[in-house]
Amino acid sequence: MNKRQLVAADCDVTFDNLTRQLYASDASVYQIEPVGVAFPKSAQQASSVIMAAADAGVPVIPRGAGSGLSGGAIGDGLVVEFSRHNRQISDLDLEQRTVRCGAGVVLDQLNTFLKPHGFCFGPDVATSSRATIGGMIANNSSGARVPVYGTTADHVVSLEMVLADGRIENVGARYDSLGAERQMIAQLVQRHAAEIAEWMPPGMLKRWSGYGIERFLREPHDLTEIFSASEGTLGAICSAELNIVPRPREKGLGLVFFASVAEAMQATVELLPLQPAAIEHIDKPLFDQTKGQLHFQAARDLMELDTKPCEAILIVEFYGDVAERLVALSAMRLGLRTLICRNQAEMNLVWAVRKAGLSLLTGRVGPAKPLAFIEDAAVPPAQLPAYVAGLERIMNPMGLEVCYYGHAATGLLHVRPVLDLRTATDLAKYRQIADAVSQLVREFKGSLAAEHGVGIARTEYM
């Protein structure tokens, strides 16, 4: 590779060992050292360096915050990093309910900007303090409140992209760019419409793996449906025009405590007719990590975790008709007990535990860690009890501790077996579990990559 070609690009590019090591990993279990890292400040600079990489025959890996769990932001080519710059927020239109964001804008930054106007961005991921808008679009992230807001792709109006040859293109329903490519993709997708309908039935709220072909089948004039969830394989996202939504006027939150994860999954199915905005599940391996942490003691006291033991908790949130729905929730008498939050402060305590789930688990002491490799599978919510039973049949004979948490309302559990990949035994279990769970999800016609992306972790199973 001729580094001079990349250095000559109108963009900051570095090849020093420290930077390459820093960008050799993301939040996954993988590590691949890139040849260099570029830090574009604009679409024009991104175009310059991507064109230079194409001329030099160097693969390009677009990257946001590197918070992805599937290895989608690493590779042995040139990492093009959009989170250092590209943080502009502009063109707020309250009448049309749209805003434009640079790819490096962090979700919390966007919502802080929108809050005084009474708006927010609908999809609210647990990593909102670090997840970038570009990365959320690339993975079609969604978070807890999909029953109300859908996924990130549902809120993309248009995208400013840099393609593999360095061209800058704007795509969206009102743009005529890439007409030939759009027609070719439409013909290809239409040709396979029956297969798409068979493997991507409409009952799944969380998206299917990879390109949004099932969405494009419904909206063949809009290439954002294909670019959303493309994980940088079709181009680099530089900025996006997004839909925004009014902040909810009324919220209510109830917690239901269970003696087992299996009981919580069955209760999830029973709760769905109440049309909650979210049903989030956390289990004992997760909330036990809050023990002894002063920051979480108020939440532990509220939930009485030190005096009333349980194995699993459902966090059930409602928007609108809150009083009636909370009464209905209590009247169902599910599980061991039900707790209704009395005010926003109590709700914030509960959500703080849920949003800290990833950091709580990764902070577990010892060489064995709750690992992310089957953590993004989703099944139709009604199938959750049978799905969890299938997971237990795979992992219980191995004697593993497993953490189950995530978005129960949409059939997505972040399942994390506790493994030490430095041992040959656990490395073998890693492979055995990945293969078996892939087959299990297929049996339920579920999605192996519902919101965290395909990346390295799941490419072989696609």
* Token pair recorded at residue 331: 């009247």
The more confident residue out of 273 and 208 is: 273
Are residues 100 and 240 in contact, defined by beta-carbon separation less than 8 angstroms?
yes
Mean predicted confidence (pLDDT) in 85-102: 97
Torsion 84-129-171-193 (CA) sign: positive
Phi, psi of 361 (to 5 degrees): -70, -40
Dump pLDDT digits (tens) for 146-197.
999 999 999 999 999 999 999 999 999 888 889 899 999 999 999 998 888 8
Residues 184 and 216 both lie in one domain: yes
94 and 122 share one domain:
yes
Following CA atoms 213, 276, 353, 339 in sequence, which dihedral angle do they give, to the nearest 10 degrees? -160
End-to-end, the C-alpha distance of the chain in Å comes to 31
Tell me what the mean pLDDT of segment 349-357 comes to. 96
Distance CA 318, CA 272 (A): 11
- The yes-or-no verdict on residue 425 having pLDDT over 90 is yes
Same domain, 316 and 437: yes
CATH number at residue 222: 3.30.465.10
Compute the C-alpha angle 155/129/242, nearest 5°. Answer: 15
What's the pTM? Answer: 0.93
What is residue 2's predicted lDDT score, i.e. its pLDDT? 64
Together in a domain, 150 and 261: no
Average pLDDT over residues 304-310: 97
Q: Is 317 left (phi over 0), alpha (psi -120 to 50) or beta?
A: beta
Distance CA 354, CA 349 (A): 9
30 and 115: one domain?
Answer: no
**Which among 62, 41, 63 is positioned nearest to 50, based on CA atoms?**
62
- Report the pLDDT averaged over residues 425-448: 95
- From residue 270, give the alpha-carbon distance in Å to each of 159, 194, 251, 329, 384: 39, 32, 21, 10, 11
pLDDT at 366 over 90: yes
> How, if at all, do strands 402-407 and 412-419 pair?
antiparallel
164 and 294 fall within a common domain: no
CB 385 within 8 A of CB 393: no
Which one of 81, 115, 141 terminates a domain?
81
Residues 39 and 51 sit within 8 Å (Cβ to Cβ): no
CATH assignment at residue 55? 3.30.43.10
299, 442: one domain: yes
Domain shared by 302 and 410, yes or no: yes
CATH, residue 359: 3.40.462.10
Structural domains in the chain (count): 3
Backbone angles phi, psi at 302, to 5 degrees: -60, -45
Q: Among 50-54, 105-109, 201-205, where is mean pLDDT lowest?
A: 201-205
Residues 175 and 319 in one domain: no
Structure confidence at residue 207 as a pLDDT band (50, 70, 90): low
Helix (H), strand (E) at residue 219: none
Full domain range(s) for residue 157: 89-246
Domain boundary among 49, 81, 113: 81
Query: Which residues share a beta bridge with 316?
Result: 254, 279
Q: Does residue 335 sit in the same domain as residue 370?
A: yes
Residue 198: the pLDDT is 78
Phi, psi of 233 (to 5 degrees): -80, -20
Q: Pick the last residue of a domain from 56, 81, 106.
A: 81
State whether 143 and 213 are in the same domain. yes
Question: How many percent of the chain have pLDDT more than 90?
Answer: 84
Same structural domain for residues 208 and 269? no
What element of type H or E holds 172? Answer: strand 168-172
pLDDT at 218: 84
Q: What is the mean pLDDT of residues 234-254?
A: 97
- For the chain, give the percent of residues with pLDDT over 70: 97
